[in-house]
């Protein structure tokens, strides 16, 4: 024990590394700051088993509250914070009419910094402690993002968007310079504290072959960076990608050809896939960022959970704000449940509440290549956690008091919860 060691006694939700939900009605979480300055979980489990071992440690008691891992958002656009809830006739008109004009403003460092601060406040209010984030094509947007994340000591990943064609003035970048800028940003920010760089082609239709090839070369040269893009979100986009890359077997296959599929590669959506695409995801250890509020809002389609499970494709949950309609993990988990239930376009199933929760915490960490780092509250992981008040509203209080099992309790929180549930957020 050191002077920094602290303990929290409350109801405690953790996950095993395999994804099993572990719950203590009377739990203890012991955290302390390690030599590298990062606060980690030193011990966690039932209070009755742990109390004697940590008798000297000061304890904060929250008897009615639930301590749980901080949430991970696998795909979000911080520059789209202000266009959440913008109406459009599907993805491509939405990009043209709202997204690109909003993103143009991020050439201005002061604007980028102001939005980044608001964005991190909003993540915090919702209990999201790690996010894989699009910036814009302007390096200033990346500096604003990482500067603010570093100031707050957060584990965050992001990167400069690459888009050198089929993009309007103001967001379109220039092939060679875009790759030079990306590499300079990798050297500046990647592995600086808890930050990680993501090589970020917007999606295949807005990059030339040369830019995609250059992105793949960067991904090979810096193998522990992330790769972050979109694929197979809506049928018009799939058709366009097939016309632009006629030699590829499928839209997803375009990315393999440029060396953009590997561990820590994350593709948002992955809706209009066949089993060969899913197998390619599995073989390359590439992960899908499932974005259900966005897919329902833009009418893009329904992620096939049965197919993902059957083939063994890595996946986790994401808000995809501004296409997504909420920063709240509870809203995202509920929308994922709706998407899972849909059984007209693909097999419908009922996702267990503990699985939805895993897909937004430890399972998302695993898909992101952050297994053992965050998301489970296992000993040795970073101490990013939330304190939830299950009686935050009258209906929540009534419903959670009736819960007879962990699944019933978690489902009540998912269906009725929002940012009012999140009482405290602790980051390592």
CB of 122 to Zn ion, least distance (A): 17
**Residue 342 CB contacts under 8 Å (≥ 6 apart), including other chains:** 302, 348
Residue nearer to Zn ion on the CB measure, 94 or 357: 94
Of residues 259-278, those binding Zn ion (CB under 5 A): 268
Distance, C-alpha 108 to centroid of its chain: 26
Residue nearer to Zn ion on the CB measure, 294 or 389: 294
CB of 320 to Zn ion, least distance (A): 5
Residue 320 contacts Zn ion per CB under 5 A: yes
CB of 291 to Zn ion, least distance (A): 7
- Provide the H-helix boundaries in 301-401: 305-311, 329-341, 353-359, 362-367, 394-401
Residue nearer to Zn ion on the CB measure, 72 or 268: 268
SS3 state of residue 78 = helix
Would you call 247 exposed, middle or buried from its count of C-beta atoms within 10 A (0-12, 13-18, 19+)? exposed
**Residue 291 CB contacts under 8 Å (≥ 6 apart), including other chains:** 75, 268, 269, 317, 318, 319, 320, 323, 324
Beta bridge partners of 195: 156
CB of 344 to Zn ion, least distance (A): 25
CB of 185 to Zn ion, least distance (A): 20
CB of 175 to Zn ion, least distance (A): 22
SS3 state of residue 339 = helix
- For Zn ion (CB under 5 A), the number of binding residues is 2
Of residues 30-49, those binding Zn ion (CB under 5 A): none
Residue nearer to Zn ion on the CB measure, 22 or 156: 156
Residue nearer to Zn ion on the CB measure, 7 or 231: 231
Residue nearer to Zn ion on the CB measure, 320 or 418: 320
Cβ proximity of 52 and 393 under 8 Å: no
What is the contact surface with Zn ion in residues (CB under 5 A)? 268, 320
């Amino acid at each position: 024990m050191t002077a920094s060691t602290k303990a929290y006694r409350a109801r405690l939700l953790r996950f095993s590394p395999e994804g099993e939900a572990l719950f203590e009605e009377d739990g203890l979480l012991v955290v302390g700051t390690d030599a590298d300055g990062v606060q980690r979980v030193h011990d966690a489990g039932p209070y009755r088993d742990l109390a004697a071992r940590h008798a000297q440690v000061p304890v904060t008691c929250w008897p009615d509250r639930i301590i749980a891992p901080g949430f991970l958002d696998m795909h979000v656009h911080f520059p789209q914070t202000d266009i959440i809830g913008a109406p459009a006739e599907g993805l491509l008109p939405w990009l043209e009419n709202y997204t690109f004009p909003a993103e143009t403003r991020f050439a201005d460092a002061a604007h980028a910094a102001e939005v980044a601060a608001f964005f991190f406040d909003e993540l915090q209010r919702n209990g999201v402690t790690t996010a894989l984030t699009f910036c814009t094509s302007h390096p200033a947007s990346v500096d604003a993002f990482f500067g603010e994340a570093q100031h707050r000591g957060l584990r965050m990943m992001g990167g400069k968007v690459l888009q050198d064609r089929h993009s309007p003035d103001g967001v379109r970048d220039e092939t060679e310079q875009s790759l030079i800028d990306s590499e300079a940003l990798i050297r500046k920010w990647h592995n600086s504290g808890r930050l990680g760089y993501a090589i970020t082609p917007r999606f295949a239709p807005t990059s030339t072959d040369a830019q995609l090839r250059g992105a793949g070369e960067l991904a090979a040269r810096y193998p522990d960076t992330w790769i972050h893009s979109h694929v197979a979100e809506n049928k018009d986009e799939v058709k366009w990608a097939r016309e632009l890359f006629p030699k590829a077997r499928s839209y997803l296959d375009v990315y393999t050809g440029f060396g953009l599929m590997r561990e820590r590669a994350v593709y948002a959506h992955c809706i209009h896939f066949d089993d060969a695409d899913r197998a390619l995801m599995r073989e390359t250890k590439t992960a899908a960022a499932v974005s259900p509020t966005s897919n329902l809002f833009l009418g893009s389609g329904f992620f096939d959970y049965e197919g993902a499970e059957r083939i063994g494709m890595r996946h986790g949950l994401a808000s995809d704000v501004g296409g997504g309609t909420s920063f709240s993990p509870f809203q995202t988990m509920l929308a994922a449940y709706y998407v899972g239930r849909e059984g007209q376009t693909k097999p419908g199933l009922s996702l267990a509440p503990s699985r939805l929760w895993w897909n937004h915490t430890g399972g998302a960490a695993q898909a992101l290549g952050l297994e053992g780092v965050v998301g489970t509250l296992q000993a040795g992981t970073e101490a990013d956690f939330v304190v939830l008040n299950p009686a935050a509203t009258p209906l929540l209080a009534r419903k959670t008091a009736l819960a007879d099992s962990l699944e019933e309790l978690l489902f009540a929180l998912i269906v009725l919860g929002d940012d009012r549930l999140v009482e405290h957020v602790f980051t390592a």
